[in-house]
């Protein structure tokens, strides 16, 4: 569950883009740590032009995490932003776990799942909330959930969002609220960031009695820093903090380059 949440937070950027505009490109490397210990590194490449976007993320373990796992995960997504609404068209995941391969192939039409293959399937449990066709409508995938449209000049309305997310197995909401503004800096970028508080709300596919689910649903230590790009009518994720019983998971860029977005 934590891993799925990390994937949801650790990816993507997008914009509203007028026709014939130059493509917006984001290239970033994110370091993922738990209580100060490096766990993984993720490389993101994102492109958007004429309202259509494509994103690719590759994540691999680092440091002490390599002792217990060699899993490498690749995630990709594509879609469009139309009239301030994110409409994903495809989403795919591959994780090279030897004993338990993980794969998702999902196609969507205007936010509704049209075809889906997810491995492994969810195990039947008495306390599991069933996923219905209604839970696969009007949703975004975990990568596309990082697309935060804005209308204001300061970008603080990026936090006025509730993302309805389906990852191939589970359906959940992430509800944002405004927390403040901070100055951020990393290799390739420095500027102002909007801080959003977040709440994770399980909807379907989860197990009601599982401790991890109950903890995440009560967790008030979720934050995301976003970079507003008023010219592109978007705020893109910069940094994420997730409180856990074992310490804070921090997803922060060691480098970030943004081009074609008026920055």
pLDDT confidence of residue 229: 76
Distance, CA of 225 to CA of 254 (rounded, Å): 15
Place of tokens 């689910």: 213
Predicted confidence (pLDDT) per residue in 84-95, tens digit: 788 999 999 998
pLDDT confidence of residue 14: 32
pLDDT confidence of residue 101: 82
Distance, CA of 42 to CA of 12 (rounded, Å): 11
- The number of beta carbons lying within 10 Å of the beta carbon of residue 217 is 14
- Nearest of 3, 23, 4, 6 to residue 237 by alpha carbon: 6
Which residue positions in the chain have pLDDT lower than 50? 2, 11-20, 65-68
pLDDT confidence of residue 18: 36
Supply the pTM of this predicted model: 0.86
pLDDT confidence of residue 10: 52
Task: Identify whether the C-beta of residue 199 lies closer than 8 Å to the C-beta of residue 223.
Answer: no
């Amino acid at each position: 569950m934590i891993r799925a949440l990390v994937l949801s937070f650790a990816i993507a950027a997008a914009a509203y883009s007028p026709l014939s505009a130059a493509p917006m490109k984001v290239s970033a490397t994110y370091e993922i740590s738990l209580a100060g210990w490096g766990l993984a590194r993720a490389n993101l490449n994102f492109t958007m032009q004429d309202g259509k976007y494509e994103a690719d993320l590759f994540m691999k373990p680092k440091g002490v995490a390599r002792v217990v796992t060699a899993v490498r995960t690749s995630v990709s997504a594509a879609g469009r932003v139309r009239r301030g609404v994110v409409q994903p068209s495809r989403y795919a995941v591959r994780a090279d776990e030897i004993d338990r391969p993980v794969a998702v192939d999902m196609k969507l039409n205007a936010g509704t799942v049209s075809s889906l293959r997810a491995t492994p399937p969810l195990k039947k449990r008495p306390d599991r909330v069933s996923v219905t066709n209604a839970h696969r409508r009007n949703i975004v995938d975990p990568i596309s959930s990082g697309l935060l449209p804005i209308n204001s000049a300061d970008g603080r309305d990026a936090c006025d969002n509730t993302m309805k997310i389906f990852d191939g197995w589970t359906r959940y909401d992430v509800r944002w609220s405004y927390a403040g503004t901070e100055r951020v800096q990393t290799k390739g970028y420095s500027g102002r960031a909007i801080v959003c508080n977040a709440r994770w709300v399980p909807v379907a596919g989860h197990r009601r009695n599982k401790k991890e689910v109950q903890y995440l649903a009560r967790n008030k230590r979720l934050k995301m820093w976003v970079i507003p790009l008023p010219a592109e009518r978007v705020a893109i994720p910069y940094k994420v903090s997730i409180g856990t019983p074992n310490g804070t998971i921090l997803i922060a860029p060691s480098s970030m380059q943004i081009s074609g977005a008026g920055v």
